Amino acid sequence: MSRDEFSAGAVVFSDHPQAGVKVLVIKDSYGRWAFPKGRIEPNEGVPEAALRETKEEVGLSALEIVAELGNTDFWYRDRWEHPGETVHKRVQYFLAKAPDWQHAQINEVERIQRIHWVSPRELRGIIRYRSLHPVIERAIDHLGQR
Is residue 14 within 8 Å of residue 117, measured between CB atoms?
yes
Domain count, the chain: 1
Q: Domain holding 107: CATH number?
A: 3.90.79.10
- Nearest partner of 92 among 8, 6, 5, 4, judged by Cα: 8
Amino acid of residue 29: S
Is residue 28 within 8 Å of residue 116, measured between CB atoms?
no
- Nearest partner of 60 among 17, 21, 25, 111, judged by Cα: 25
Question: Measured between alpha carbons, how far is 1 from 3 in angstroms, rounded to an integer?
Answer: 7
- Print pLDDT tens along the chain (146 aa): 788 889 999 999 999 888 899 999 999 988 999 999 999 999 999 999 999 999 999 999 889 999 999 999 988 887 777 788 887 889 999 999 998 766 777 766 667 889 999 999 999 999 999 999 999 999 999 998 64
Domain that holds residue 76: 2-142
pTM for this entry: 0.90
